Amino acid sequence: MKDVLRIECSRRNLQQVRDFVRSFLASRALPELLVNQVVLAIDEVVANFIIHANGEDERQHIDLQLVVENHDLNVEIADHGSTIFLPGPHLAPDLSEYIRQGRKGGTGMALVNRLMDRVEFFTRDHHTVCHLSKHLV
């Protein structure tokens, strides 16, 4: 089973991304908690692509591909912008310190790394690509 979605780089399109992922997974009768975790991980990476890699430039696009084989979900998120976005290794964020500092960001990729089995960022033809995978059981 495979499906693809292309969106413009606007954070307004995050709802469309989440609806697409939920719809893709709907036929598999998965627990709501698991579906929400997958939706969240993809939403976080796409938001990073939109905001950090493409500066919310709506002339740019992001391509999302979802594939399920057996019980394994493989996700590819790819952009076409010239800014390479390769997040470093994510240590566990010190949330007490974030609260003390009144810090808004810095938890998204930590969530992604805890939610998915595999998280990989790399470049292809001078663009950023992210692969995520999770065993859906």
Residue ranges that bind other proteins, judged by CB under 8 A? 11-12, 14-15, 18, 32-33, 36-37, 39-40, 43-44, 47, 50-51, 93, 95-96, 98-108, 110-111, 114-115
- Which residue, 6 or 114, has its beta carbon nearer to other proteins? 114
DSSP SS3 for 68: strand
- Which residue, 69 or 97, has its beta carbon nearer to other proteins? 97
| CB 129 to other proteins: min, Å | 21
| CB 54 to other proteins: min, Å | 13
| CB 101 to other proteins: min, Å | 8
Tell me which DSSP letter residue 117 carries: S
Query: Cβ(113)–Cβ(130) under 8 Å?
Result: no
- Which residue, 57 or 67, has its beta carbon nearer to other proteins? 57
Which residues partner with 106 through β-bridges?
A: none
- The span from the CA of 32 to the CA of 10, in Å, is 27
Helix axes 32-48, 108-115, angle to 10 degrees: 140
- Which residue, 67 or 87, has its beta carbon nearer to other proteins? 87
Tell me which DSSP letter residue 51 carries: I
